[in-house]
Amino acid sequence: MGLAVSASRTEMVEVALPQDANPLGNVLGGRVMHLVDMAGAITAIRHSRRAVVTASVDHMDFRNPIRVGELIILKASVNRVFHTSMEVGVKVFSENPLTGERKHTTSAYSTFVALDETHQPTPAPPLICETAEDRRRYREALVRRKVRLGHRYKSE
Ligand SMILES: CC(C)(COP(=O)(O)OP(=O)(O)OC[C@H]1O[C@@H](n2cnc3c(N)ncnc32)[C@H](O)[C@@H]1OP(=O)(O)O)[C@@H](O)C(=O)NCCC(=O)NCCS
């Protein structure tokens, strides 16, 4: 049985703390990457109700810095289920908690693989798209998959 995109959609909010930042007070890219991985994994687990591993992360650009004291908002949803793998899109914003001003920091596409009890890849439930936006992301995910698998690590 399929599951709607909205059933696993996840929003995470963190406060940017000094230990997350460089000496200029800007949050480190690695911290944002960690949060993207967490938000994506939670979303994939909620969709599949399985343990998951990160198989790949597409490239990430950091468009705007996040300052210490700002909120880090992560919005994640499953874009497409292939067989055992799921592409999850994560959009990251900074928010000034005093003014509410939001800036788009980065977007990332990660692929998670659902695992069974023996830690082998196992099918994830089909995805049900509910909105035009869901359907656009679903279509575009197939194009990204082809590129990503073309770059896939080949064992010796
Ligand atoms: C990801 C992993 C489970 C794939 O295992 P595998 O033996 O290559 O399995 P398969 O070839 O059967 O692929 C399983 C699925 O993963 C997908 N996949 C494998 N490598 C991928 C990659 N680099 N990017 C995107 N998807 C990938 C396959 O397309 C397949 O998806 P599908 O069933 O939807 O078509 C395995 O490589 C692994 O465990 N990697 C380590 C994961 C990890 O520890 N991540 C944390 C970072 S340290």
Whether ligand 1 lies within 6 angstroms of the CB of 26 is answered as: no
Which residue puts its alpha carbon closest to atom 39 of ligand 1? 53
Which residue puts its alpha carbon closest to atom 44 of ligand 1? 53
The helix/strand/coil state of 65 is: coil
Burial class (CB in 10 A: 0-12, 13-18, 19+), 112: buried
Residue at 100: amino acid letter: G
* Span 124-137, pLDDT tens digits: 999 999 999 999 99
Burial class (CB in 10 A: 0-12, 13-18, 19+), 132: exposed
Yes or no: say if 71 and 95 are a contact pair by the CB < 8 Å rule.
Answer: yes
Yes or no: say if 106 and 63 are a contact pair by the CB < 8 Å rule.
Answer: yes
Average model confidence (pLDDT) for the chain? 97
Q: Which stretches of the chain drop beneath a pLDDT of 70?
A: 155-156
